[in-house]
Structure 1
Amino acid sequence: MNPELLLWITLLLPFAGFLLLILSGKKANTPAGWLGLGLSASGLALSYLLTDQDVTAVAYPWLTAKLSFGFRVDELTLRMLRLVLFIASLVQLFSIEYMREDAARFRYFGFLQLFVGSMLGIVLAHNLLVLYVFWELVGLSSYLLIGFWFTKKEAIAASKKAFLVNRVGDVGLALGVFGVYHRFGTLDFSTFAGMAEGSDPYLTAIGLLLFCGTIAKSAQFPLHIWLPDAMEGPTPVSALIHAATMVAAGVYLLARIFPILTPDALVVIASIGTITMVMGAVYALSQTDIKKTLAYSTISQLGLMVLALGVGAPQAALFHLFTHAFFKAGLFLSSGSVIHSLHHAGHGFDAQDVRLMGGLRKQLPVTFLAYTVCAAALAGLPLTAGFLSKDEILHEAFTHTAHSWQLIFPILALISAGLTAFYMAKQWRIVFFGNWRNPILSLDQVHESSWLQKGPLVGLALLSLPFAFSINPLGEHFAPLVALGSTAVAVGGIALAWIRYRSVPDAESLRDTPLTTLDAVYQRFFVQPVLKFAQFCTWLDRVVVDGIVDGIAKLQVILAHLVGWFDRNVIDGLVAALAWLSRTMGDTTRQVQSGKIQSYIVAMVMGLAALLIWWTW
């Protein structure tokens, strides 16, 4: 088959599915899940018919001769294409059972198809403008999916928050796109190689503006605040969007623009990534919502990827992007399996609160095993995929920063790895071990779901093992010292968590401890300044701008009255005076028009006499 045609079919299949499901309405509820799964699986199969040798770039005239619409196909494109479609297929298979009782399944799977198509557009885009178009479509589809249960106020608030926060970053991204075109006269990724040489303040500014898109989409500090709230959406959505694909789009963008990032820009990027990584891990320590722990973990892991890019290790960052996609999607779907089992067994309590769980390993054995493998990968334990990618990042980071102050970045990454192991071991221990702590529901009522849910969990758990990425279980770039250090901190974190939570007698002993210091700092230095600036803008709009507009309007009213008075009294008065004069003269002259010849003769004689007198005077 023609490679160009393959690309078009792969891209348009999910959009066709979106239109078909939305236009069909509730009639499509029954086949919706299988249709979505079939389309994503078909796209995945088609992607394996492509190689980067088949087609490198396809461009079609668009806005100008220099701005075209087209695709770029290389190894990274194909890997991302297959990742998105594979995870989407597993998520939709899981969702068939998870959303079985929802009355709007057609809308759910339709929105998923819209999201998948938008992500494929980002992956295939051959220039920044095309990427930006699909970038905005991803924002729209994520808004629709987060707020899918629109009867919940929390879901509506979370979708609005995600949409607005992402718009902040998208403004910076748009300005960066303008800057790239102004500087280079092109937006094509293929022309970026070798453009960032030395220190260039203008190019640094452009790179940081483009990075704003990553800050928002990949939930980097300080625009990370939308991601934990986005857990209000269905759990499979969290697995697809907020673990494996959408949040990874920012890292993918950085990898594409890496050639134009100056050393100064990279330092800022590494700093933001490090802050995000540590902050996400610290926040995850205190969560009691099973999904929010994973959400903050996602923030931390995305920070690690951004850190890797910032220290000049884009390949290591992309490697972790792929391994993280599998084990984090597995964790989210495992948490979804737990939530679904509790919801199915009974209602009247928060099925996401780990304080109301315990001892679930015997009731949910497949979920327990999948969660265990994926959590071990997230903690970076040996013989997992996470060990391979995380250690490669640490090795690259220590190598690139060994002789500078930036050595603090990998040191903090090592500490963050220990925190990650601690909070994952904590959640694993609380959910699957100990006593059952739910006073409303009996443990005997909780049962594993069908293989429609268990199948994706097993698949993702297997892909979280090292053999999915390397024949050598220790990796191709094994660094003994780094591996020993990261393993030591991970094992130490797990041991501390196991000791700390070895005895959990009741839910009260697991109180959610708010991080008042961090919250206060964030509120004071970010939230409050933004609110004050917004209040200032409101005052400026209401008092100054509206005052000027009102003043101009009042001045116009006064001028209108003056013009009206002038028209009424002067113009109309002049016209009336002329009319009066004409009427008076008419009345006067009409009196002499009697119709009698004698009168006319007398007037003529008198007039003639007057003329003679005047001439002779």
Structure 2
Amino acid sequence: MLFSLSLSSLLNIFYCVLVISGLSGLLFLYPRIPLRYVNIHIGIVSLPPLVALFALINTKAKGIFGPWHLDSIAWLLAFFVLFLGLIIQRFSVRYLMGDHSYRKYFILFTFTTGAASLAWLSDDLRLMAICWGVTLIGLISLIRLNRGWKVAHEAATISGRLFALSWIAIVLAIIWLSHVTGQWQLSSALKDGSLAHLDSWEKTGINLLLILGVMIPAAQWPFQRWLLESVVAPTPVSAIMHAGLVNAGGIVLTRFSPIFNGDIAQIILLILASISVLIGTGISLVQVDYKRQLVGSTIAQMGFMLIQCALGAYSAAIFHLVFHGLFKATLFLQAGSLVPRLEKSTHGRKNISYSWTVVGYILAILVGASFWLKDMGNGYQLISALIIGWSLSVSWKQLVAFGEGSIDRIAGLLFLGGFTILYLIIHNYLYGWLPVNVYHGNQLSMAILIFIICFLFVCSIIGRWVVQHRSSVYFTVIYLWLVRLGEAQPKAVESHPNYLKFLSQGGNK
């Protein structure tokens, strides 16, 4: 029976379908293979995520087997990466048709997503580092896909230098940890007995290397430049970068959480991630280019995800990266369908109900507070309460307070209530299903949590004041600074892309 497959059998099937997918991509490189073979390739590529999904729901597919750490999170991330890769490759079949590097794109994409899935399934630190390095090389190659475009080459060069620094930092952390603990298996190296060999300064040093290694792919300040430059990459490549690569920081910190908990490195990460949230939000507000708006949004979202890791809320970070990946991939794949429309600005409506707005704020505070009061000493609970309260206040304002008439407001109330109930059901289900309790260690003190919350709240008030005083000098200075921060370097901008002349040559060459 299929449901009685052992862990070794599932692994063998997973390896086989990954290898077959890679061979299919290599076969598509052969010029005599017709372009319509790409549809067969997409069908083959759909097999690995199906196997990963089956392993995810199969209780017998969990455990440590050789160099692999196969828990629910590992299979979830493998399925997530491979499923996103499948959707984006399917989208690219027509989107990139006629591109000079059409054939090369699919093999690079297949190898990149396959290597990423193996990286998060790995328990051997050496294998994890190798697979992650292959993933970074694949992404650089995808950015440089159009070799005739100097701008893409420049963006790939900038990304490559920063990715190399990130990879070296993670490799040094792995070597340091293995040298002290005498273990190359991640599960063994992070046991209490192994970690007891670490001095406090060694623990801090390893954590700082991990922070450097995860902040770069997450495009956090001051390393956000590579993501700003990479907007010149084809939209499907941007989709996998924003939906997959930038999420690696939360995955790495979750895997290394036993060593990362209870260290001053958490405070450092908390400060840098908070700054990134503010900068990313500002960039998304001042930029007029759609892809740069998404870049700013990604920087802010990844900053918030790293804040969750710094607070010890690793389960919240996993949920965040999965939902953010799906959401951001959808936005990028729909970028071409955006058409300027003349719409009424909600700020100009005369029927805005300020009483309904106040009711929404009060309701958001009550719901968030009640959620937090369930476990006041838990940082995860506090972060979840903030997310729920803030999301409820924003949604209430858009769906209810801005409603035109009673019918609109009633519909908004029904939709908001149904969505809130659905979110709580999904959240509770996933929280109980994933083995996240393993990753909950020593969390930051409540005083630090409250300080960070107050800091973000004060920054929000200052931002609102600046927006309401647009004629002030402060607004002009901040606005121009954010515009400059969100723009690419001059050599990474080209008015007329030279690579467009290859489009007429078709995808056969």
Q: Using the TM superposition, give the Cα deviation of residue 521 of structure 1 relative to its aligned residue in structure 2, in angstroms.
A: 9.3
d(CA) in 2 for partners of 1:26 and 1:90? 25
1:139–1:166 contact (8 Å) kept in structure 2: yes
- Identify the residue that residue 341 of structure 2 maps to in structure 1: 358
d(CA) in 1 for partners of 2:133 and 2:222? 20
d(CA) in 1 for partners of 2:331 and 2:139? 20
1:127 aligned onto 2:81: no
d(CA) in 2 for partners of 1:112 and 1:32? 16
1:80 aligned onto 2:86: no
Among candidates 54, 60, 64, match of residue 53 of structure 1 = 60
Q: How many residues align?
A: 397
Question: 1:172 aligns to what SS in structure 2?
Answer: helix
Distance 1:273 1:144, change over 3 A: same
Letter in 1 for 2:276: T
1:239 aligned onto 2:239: yes
1:231–1:292 contact (8 Å) kept in structure 2: yes
Question: 2:325 aligns to what SS in structure 1?
Answer: helix
Letter in 2 for 1:471: I
d(CA) in 1 for partners of 2:477 and 2:79? 40
- Identify the residue that residue 312 of structure 1 maps to in structure 2: 312
1:112 aligned onto 2:66: no
Q: Using the TM superposition, give the Cα deviation of residue 116 of structure 1 relative to its aligned residue in structure 2, in angstroms.
A: 1.1
Q: TM-score, normalised by structure 1?
A: 0.56
Q: Using the TM superposition, give the Cα deviation of residue 263 of structure 1 relative to its aligned residue in structure 2, in angstroms.
A: 2.3
1:274–1:307 contact (8 Å) kept in structure 2: yes
- Identify the residue that residue 259 of structure 2 maps to in structure 1: 260
- Identify the residue that residue 157 of structure 2 maps to in structure 1: 160
Distance 1:334 1:29, change over 3 A: farther
1:26 aligned onto 2:31: yes
- Identify the residue that residue 178 of structure 1 maps to in structure 2: 175
1:115–1:137 contact (8 Å) kept in structure 2: yes
d(CA) in 2 for partners of 1:260 and 1:210? 10
Question: 1:151 aligns to what SS in structure 2?
Answer: coil
Give deviations 1:468-495, integer Å, cap 9, x for gaps: 7653799999xxxx9xx9xxx9xx99xx
Question: 1:312 aligns to what SS in structure 2?
Answer: coil
1:22–1:106 contact (8 Å) kept in structure 2: no
1:77–1:123 contact (8 Å) kept in structure 2: yes
d(CA) in 1 for partners of 2:483 and 2:317? 29
Equivalence map 1:443-454=2 (5 Å): none
Give deviations 1:135-185, integer Å, cap 9, x for gaps: 110111001111112222211111111111111122211211111012211
Equivalence map 1:332-343=2 (5 Å): 332-338=332-338
Q: Which moved more, 1:183-192 or 1:116-125?
A: 183-192
- Identify the residue that residue 425 of structure 2 maps to in structure 1: 471
Among candidates 7, 15, 19, match of residue 11 of structure 2 = 7
Q: Using the TM superposition, give the Cα deviation of residue 30 of structure 1 relative to its aligned residue in structure 2, in angstroms.
A: 1.6
Distance 1:328 1:29, change over 3 A: farther
1:44–1:85 contact (8 Å) kept in structure 2: yes
2:242–2:325 contact (8 Å) kept in structure 1: no
Letter in 2 for 1:323: F
Q: Using the TM superposition, give the Cα deviation of residue 193 of structure 1 relative to its aligned residue in structure 2, in angstroms.
A: 3.9
Question: 1:358 aligns to what SS in structure 2?
Answer: coil
Give deviations 1:294-325, integer Å, cap 9, x for gaps: 01211110110100000111111111111111
Distance 1:467 1:417, change over 3 A: closer
- Identify the residue that residue 473 of structure 2 maps to in structure 1: none
Letter in 1 for 2:75: L
Letter in 2 for 1:81: A
d(CA) in 2 for partners of 1:137 and 1:278? 32
- Identify the residue that residue 189 of structure 1 maps to in structure 2: 186
Distance 1:468 1:86, change over 3 A: farther
Q: Which moved more, 1:103-112 or 1:290-299?
A: 103-112
Distance 1:413 1:515, change over 3 A: farther
1:18–1:110 contact (8 Å) kept in structure 2: yes
Higher RCO structure (Cα 8 Å, ≥6 apart): 2
Equivalence map 1:398-477=2 (5 Å): 470-471=424-425
Letter in 2 for 1:40: V
Q: Give ranges in structure 2 of 5+ residues lacking alignment.
A: 345-359, 400-418, 432-449, 469-475, 490-509
- Identify the residue that residue 133 of structure 2 maps to in structure 1: 136
Letter in 2 for 1:309: C
- Identify the residue that residue 530 of structure 1 maps to in structure 2: none
Letter in 1 for 2:63: T
- Identify the residue that residue 402 of structure 2 maps to in structure 1: none
Give deviations 1:432-464, integer Å, cap 9, x for gaps: xxxxxxxxxxxxxxxxxxxxxxxxxxxxxxxxx
- Identify the residue that residue 38 of structure 1 maps to in structure 2: 43
2:221–2:275 contact (8 Å) kept in structure 1: yes
- Identify the residue that residue 216 of structure 2 maps to in structure 1: 216
- Identify the residue that residue 90 of structure 2 maps to in structure 1: 93
Distance 1:96 1:274, change over 3 A: same
d(CA) in 2 for partners of 1:268 and 1:308? 13
Q: Give ranges in structure 1 of 5+ residues lacking alignment.
A: 60-69, 343-356, 362-381, 426-464, 501-511, 528-617
Q: TM-score, normalised by structure 2?
A: 0.67
d(CA) in 1 for partners of 2:299 and 2:42? 28
2:166–2:212 contact (8 Å) kept in structure 1: yes
Larger Rg: 1
d(CA) in 1 for partners of 2:33 and 2:158? 30
1:278–1:413 contact (8 Å) kept in structure 2: no
Q: Using the TM superposition, give the Cα deviation of residue 290 of structure 1 relative to its aligned residue in structure 2, in angstroms.
A: 0.7
Question: 2:36 aligns to what SS in structure 1?
Answer: helix
Distance 1:8 1:395, change over 3 A: farther
Question: 1:148 aligns to what SS in structure 2?
Answer: coil
Distance 1:12 1:473, change over 3 A: closer
2:6–2:60 contact (8 Å) kept in structure 1: no
Question: 1:218 aligns to what SS in structure 2?
Answer: coil
Among candidates 138, 146, 164, match of residue 149 of structure 1 = 146
d(CA) in 2 for partners of 1:212 and 1:248? 14
Distance 1:242 1:521, change over 3 A: closer
Distance 1:317 1:399, change over 3 A: farther
d(CA) in 2 for partners of 1:522 and 1:291? 11
- Identify the residue that residue 285 of structure 1 maps to in structure 2: 285
